[in-house]
A = this chain, B = another copy of it.
Amino acid sequence: MTASTPTRRSRRGHGRATMDDVAAMAEVTKITVSRYLREPAKVADATAERIRAALASTGYVPNKQAGLLASGRSNIVAALIPNLSHSIFGETVQALSEGLQAAGFELLLASTGYALDREEEQLRALLGWAPSALVVTGRHHSGGAQQLLLDAHGAGTPVVEVWDHHPQAASPFAQVGFDHGAVGRAMAAHLIDTGHRALAYLDSGVDADFRAHERGAGFAAEARRRRVRCQTLRAETGDPFDAGRRAFHALCPSTKSPPERPSAVACANDHLACGVMMEALATGLAVPADLVVMGFGDFPVGRQLQPALSTVHPPSREIGRVTAQLLTQALASGERPRGTALPWQLLARASTQRVC
């Protein structure tokens, strides 16, 4: 006993113990081992005991490709994310991963690096795993990618678009996120309500950051509706702090003062906003007295600045948590997942405080 040299018969196998090895040691056939692994109750106690011993002594690890191929269903959820080094998506992925793991699913991850042309390629690679469900970011996809998603959807694979939830544009897929246009409008409204009549939106320099552009569009629309002047500027690519710094000078040349220049700048994210604010302070403008700045994302840095940065807190973790839950339910019941709009919060901190 216990001498655990598994019977090696295979020519192609990779040397690990197989179910047959375990079965031989437990003096049963592999189907009984398989059954024990999935429905232990259906195996006699004595047999189970022998199988347990064999399992332990061989160090058996089931081969998933074989199992999935045989059963026809994978327990993989494939997710395609723009960028993982961005803590915002990191939180979503972390929560998604936790939720899925708890339910026995595995997360297969790919990132596009915000490159639209890589989306289709990556998606194709992910689909090769025959995932049980797909998670993609946003509702804007390249033509090829959209078709792949539609095919998967058509074949009954749940598809969830995270970080977006557009009230009108009826996507065929479930959306878990929020309306970025509404966020943009709320940002503009906040600034207008606190007395500003010359606004600017500093948009993300990343082409494929559609959600930032959408917030910008909402921002501009609200300004138009309220008949307030509004300027939009696209940030340069590269380090967002530096881009913000440079954008400040483009928006607020020292020769001008409001309403010639904006008295309030909203940014596509907190890092840009940070740059704008630091540079404003360095130039001698007071924040919020001379210039008001707000960002998006509620990055840790914003809370620590002097003055603290007003921003919008997105439901990053919630998106991951809810998506995991939705998918778990959908996969268990066989029904299509239904999207959810998740709440965000406008955090009016010191950087946009009205000065008396």
Contacts and interface: CB of A to CB of B under 8 A. Distances in A.
B98 A94 contact: no
A304 B303 contact: no
B125 A97 contact: no
A28 B229 CA distance: 66
Interface residues of A, number: 61
A241 B84 contact: no
Nearest to A303: B241
Interface in A86-121: 86-87, 90-91, 93-94, 97-98, 101, 106-111, 113
A124 interface: yes
Given A69-B69, A87-B87, A124 B61 contact: yes
B63 A155 contact: no
Nearest to A14: B72
A174 interface: no
Contact of A111 (B64, B97, B127): B97
A26 interface: no
Contact of A84 (B97, B147, B271): B97
A109 B109 contact: yes
B13 A59 contact: no
Interface in A299-317: 299-301, 303-306, 317
Interface in A37-87: 59, 61-66, 68-69, 71-74, 83-87
Contacts of A301: 299-301, 304
A335 interface: no
Contacts of A69: 63, 65-66, 69
A104 to B, nearest CB: 9
A94 B85 contact: yes
A300 B106 contact: no
B305 A61 contact: no
A-B residue pairs, 9 tightest by C-beta: A301-B301, A65-B65, A64-B128, A85-B91, A85-B94, A85-B90, A65-B69, A84-B94, A87-B87
Given A85-B317, A299-B301, 14 more contacts: A14-B72, A14-B130, A62-B128, A64-B128, A65-B65, A69-B69, A84-B97, A85-B93, A97-B110, A107-B110, A108-B109, A271-B300, A278-B304, A301-B301
29 contacts: A14-B73, A14-B130, A14-B155, A16-B130, A59-B147, A59-B148, A59-B151, A62-B128, A63-B130, A64-B65, A64-B130, A65-B129, A65-B130, A66-B69, A85-B87, A85-B91, A87-B87, A87-B90, A94-B113, A97-B110, A97-B111, A98-B111, A101-B110, A101-B122, A106-B110, A107-B110, A241-B304, A278-B304, A306-B306
